[in-house]
Structure 1
Amino acid sequence: MAATHTGDTVRGSEQGAAYCQQMRLLLERVGERWSLLAVIALRAQALRFNALRRELQGISPRMLARTLKALERDGLVSRTVHPTVPPQVDYALTALGRSLLQPVDALLHWADEHREAMDMARRDFDAREAVAAAT
């Protein structure tokens, strides 16, 4: 059987397409600007909405609400409503969300190790582009 676009030689094209769709959705979630930052902010403890918003400087209330809802839908974050007046809501990582911390830490470590090389590559690229634009 010919390989599908997933690189898997066992899946049929319909199963391969469904797998790709699932992976695309997962990668979109973790690749969104605020999703990983929210996961990192919730690493140590559960936080209320406004405390989380303070941690994620620059996020609008609407975007934070959307991000938390998406993370909750994906099973990465839990939402606990406390029966108080006014209601208090805590957001925390689930076991699944905590399992994401290891690859996130690896990515952060990689980024830190390669930050200077990437900065240099960007400067070199920008300089070449400036020369090309000037000619």
Structure 2
Amino acid sequence: MASPPLESLRKALAAMPPGTLVPRDWVLERLSEDVPGVPAAVTRAPPARVDLTIRDLARLFGKQPSTVRAWVERGDFPGAYKLHGKEWRVPVSGVEAFQNWQRRAKSDTRPSAWRMVRRSDAASRSESGQDPVTTRSTHGNAQA
């Protein structure tokens, strides 16, 4: 025969509809409540990580909701989805992936080809000691 806590838990679970999701803490409370002198063996679960809305992301990044919506629609947040086909939701993992991508992009930035040419021109001028050749008038547009 089962112990009283198990029997009361079994009755409570049997009364629930099939497929019911039961929180772990509730089960632990039911198991410990019928045993006198034993404190409830409940350890609080970490807070649930809830998917973020466009407005949440806008506040997080200090941007306008329209800017964040464009990022989401462009696919910058992996796992983003529309709740009931209406409002965008972004999982925390998608936000973390976006932030990591942004960090990598900033650390990998290289000057454009135009800037590279300008830098090499400046370096060669400093080595030769010559001033750059210009085709512009040194007096502005007055004497063209």
* TM-score, structure 2 as length reference: 0.28
Which structure's relative contact order is higher, taking Cα pairs within 8 Å and 6+ residues apart? Answer: 1
Larger Rg: 2
* TM-score, structure 1 as length reference: 0.29
